[in-house]
Amino acid sequence: MPTIRVRDGREVMYAEWGDPAGVPIFSLHGTPGCRLNRPPEEEKVAAAGIRLVTYDRPGYGGSDRRHGRSVVDCVEDVEALADVLGIERFGVTGGSGGGPHALAVGARLADRVFAVHCVVGCAPYDAPGLDWFAGMDPENVKEFGWALQGEDVLTAELTAEEAKTRARVAEDPTTVLGDFDLSEADRAVLADPRIQALIVESTAEECRQGVGGWVDDDLCFTKPWGFEVEELKVPVEVRYGATDVLVPAGHGDWLAANVPGATVVKDTGHGHMSGPDETIEHLARLARSA
């Protein structure tokens, strides 16, 4: 996979999918994740007329780590990638841990971003009026509790967790989330063989350098993002599931109320995950905003 060298000397690994002449869209992966998180059938991305760009956030996959990064720091990497790839205007979508990063890009590159989709993204940890942990599965509460104890604790715990995840996925990809009490909607997505193949592929890649990227994601979600969602001036769709236990619906409710002019889609029958066909539909809708 190709890499670029960004301003501070780090290497960032990226991938492109779909139609090279299509509408450019950056898709920012979740936590943990990597550039391989994409719709599994590339021909459908191409048929939708989309040039999809994914990349490994610092510390994941083949991208160098950036200790102490904040959510807003992703803007520099996305801008550098767009410049190298000759992309002037583009859409941005981010799911789960990628959601806040997508909002950051929309806020700080408003002259280049035509629209943002924030899908099951979390709200700021210090969001006024939000109980950040309300409705969150105990497994996720435990993980962010480690983050609040500091980098050393979080690194040790996630290193152990990542080894367990690899072992589970090798035996049965549907168990990637272990003991999470997932909704029926999420279990249905995990039952899709196309999703299972992606889980196997991405799990092998996302932490191949260790858990640094995952650690830094969790840490940056529990401190100020470095920008305010009220800065957003580009069209934003906030989409979230009513039965989500990883990023509870209260986060989506807060973003819906605080992102200026947001289009809000609260899926009453959905949880945290989208199936491959739904993802293509979301991308096609974003492309039509260009």
207 neighbors 176 (Cβ within 8 angstroms):
no
Handedness of CA 220, 58, 211, 177 (dihedral sign): positive
Nearest CA-CA partner of 1 in 21, 17, 23, 18: 17
264 neighbors 238 (Cβ within 8 angstroms):
yes
| Helix, strand, coil percent content, the chain, rounded in steps of 5 | 40, 15, 40
Q: How confident is the model at residue 1 (pLDDT cuts 50, 70, 90)?
A: confident
Question: What is the C-alpha radius of gyration for the chain, rounded to an integer number of angstroms?
Answer: 17
pTM, two decimals, is: 0.97
Task: Kindly report the CATH number assigned to the domain that includes residue 111.
Answer: 3.40.50.1820
290 residue type, one letter: A
By the 10 Å C-beta count (0-12 exposed, 13-18 middle, 19+ buried), 103 is classed as: buried
Q: How confident is the model at residue 88 (pLDDT cuts 50, 70, 90)?
A: very high
217 residue type, one letter: D
Residue 209 has pLDDT above 90, yes or no: yes
Nearest CA-CA partner of 100 in 263, 283, 264, 251: 251
Count of domains forming the chain: 1
Nearest CA-CA partner of 274 in 236, 237, 244: 244
Residues 120, 244: Cα–Cα separation, whole Å: 8
Q: Domain residues for 221?
A: 3-287
Cα–Cα distances in angstroms (integers) from residue 105 to residues 27, 77, 114, in the given order: 11, 10, 11
Q: What is the pLDDT of residue 192?
A: 97
| pLDDT tens for each residue of 229-269 | 999 999 999 999 999 999 999 999 999 999 999 999 999 98
